[in-house]
Amino acid sequence: MHEEVIISGFGGQGALFAGQLLTYTGMDEGWHVTWIPSYGPEMRGGTAHCIVILSDDTIGSPIIRQPSVCVVMNPPSMEKYEPLVKPGGLLVANSTLVRARSSRDDIETVYIPANELAAELGNVKMANVVLLGAMLGTREILPIESVKRTLDEHIPERRKQIIEPNKRALERGVQYVREV
């Protein structure tokens, strides 16, 4: 396996946290991984994205040109990354904010109202984990149960209260794509 993933949105939407969950889970599962965060000077409200590579072989470079999977959380991310997804790749878009639809027929697209689903769970800030669940529910790059275990094992003690809500958000994203 070799997956190259970009997760992108506004600063404060949790793109980097979603990438960290993927990265820690990959490490815990024994994969070779890289995680490179990038954010604008404003952070909250500016753009933020991260690159995650998961591979069963040594990773030659942490930089990618054509992601195999892209999760876009806002319109600027859709504009920037949708054209870069490699043919046969997966694009997961937060349809709450991203109204545009891909015109490409060479990629798989999933549109999920992540903000609404997260709000139903009690916190719109969990839209990032809903989207991660949708991604993994469409392509099980890593097992959902392993991501839940990562939440248990890698969230610091002072933030333990976010574990169970994030597990529910992950499950909600999986459930949504499997129903639709």
Name the residue range of residue 84's domain. 2-179
pLDDT tens-digit series, residues 105-153:
999 999 999 999 999 999 999 999 999 999 999 999 999 999 999 999 9
Q: Is 123 exposed, middle or buried (0-12, 13-18, 19+ CB in 10 A)?
A: middle
Number of domains in the chain: 1
pTM: 0.93
Q: Report the C-alpha dihedral over residues 11, 83, 127, 154, rounded to 10 degrees.
A: -70
CATH of the domain at 8: 3.40.920.10
